[in-house]
Amino acid sequence: MIASSVALDDGVVIHHPDLVNLYGCTVGAGSRIGTFVEIQKNASVGRNCKISSHTFICEGVTIEDGVFVGHGVMFTNDLHPRAVNPDGSLQTDTDWEMVPTLVRRHASIGSNATILAGVTIGEGALVGAGAVVTKDVPAEAIVAGVPARITGHVKDAQSGSVSARRAR
């Protein structure tokens, strides 16, 4: 379902529009959205991004231009999620704090990564498949693991340096 509250720029491609859930979000020109993707209200995807299938982008997530998001990536927006308040009453929309998350331009996030609320993934950074990102990722860093830790730098990996080969 694509709600009428969604702002899609020119050239956005949504594979199987009947198998996505988009509402109250913005998607920039030239971006591609895969099957079974959910993008919630107050989330934004920049220009020329690729959001792969089975990905969840929640409220408060900002993805800048040229970002790749792999299959099954999960974003969170609450540092202390719970179903009930301390008094046992059910949580409502006003009983929690939405914590924004930012993915800077040209970053890449590998399949099945989980991005916790409040982090910034730096420009050109690479998040390995299955990583759990719990803190900010510097620009051009390669992170992997649970929790994600720096294992190398994109420029070293592109040059084929010895340190980059060890990081793999």
CA–CA distance, 95 with 143 (Å, rounded to integer)? 33
Q: Report the chain's mean pLDDT, rounded to a whole number.
A: 92
Report the 10 Å Cβ neighbour count for 135.
12
- Inform me whether the pLDDT recorded for 164 exceeds 50: no
- Active-site positions? 80
104 to 51, 124, 154: CA distances (angstroms)? 14, 7, 15
164 to 15, 53, 121, 151: CA distances (angstroms)? 35, 29, 20, 8
User: Higher confidence at residue 25 or residue 162?
Assistant: 25
State the DSSP code for 19.
Answer: G
Name which of 53, 54, 51, 56 is nearest 67 in CA terms. 51
Catalogue all structural domains in the chain, each as residue range(s) with its CATH number: 7-78+98-167 (2.160.10.10)
Single-letter code of the amino acid located at 60: G
> 168, 158 in Cβ contact below 8 A?
no
Q: Any alpha helices (H) in the chain, and if so which ranges?
A: 154-159, 162-167
Is the alpha carbon torsion for 133, 135, 141, 147 positive or negative?
Answer: negative
Pick from 46-50, 60-64, 86-90: least confident:
86-90
What local confidence, expressed as pLDDT, does residue 86 receive?
84
Phi and psi torsions of 141, nearest 5°: -80, 150
What local confidence, expressed as pLDDT, does residue 167 receive?
45
Single-letter code of the amino acid located at 128: G
